[in-house]
Amino acid sequence: MKVPAWLLRHRVKVEPYAGDSAYGPTYGPAVEGVPALVTLAVRTVRDREGREVTSSATVIAGPDLDCPAESRITLPDGRTTRAIAVAKHTAPGLPVPESVEVSCE
């Protein structure tokens, strides 16, 4: 069961992180109009290396979102940010919605 579409009121653009090159980070093809629920709130999260960092936005999307840590995300207000941590929420066999939670810089 996926997160209900009526909860995903915002649209974001996601450019999945593909790795580093000699010229800096590289990204896969941009996916525009991704349905999401965006919360602008400051909180402390741990990045992929375990350091505590400050997140200024949280994006919740459907379980099929391809957004590894370090991906570039354009929020509904036009601000471009970076994915710090990504959590996939699943509960196989239980009647609760599956989703992906992305903590952004």
pLDDT for res 25:
94
- Predicted confidence (pLDDT) per residue in 26-85, tens digit: 999 999 999 999 999 999 999 888 899 999 999 999 999 999 999 999 999 999 999 999
The predicted pLDDT at position 48 comes to: 84
Q: Round to whole Å and give the CA distance between 40 and 68.
A: 20
User: Looking at residue 90, what is its pLDDT?
Assistant: 87
Q: What is the arithmetic mean of pLDDT over 8-37?
A: 96
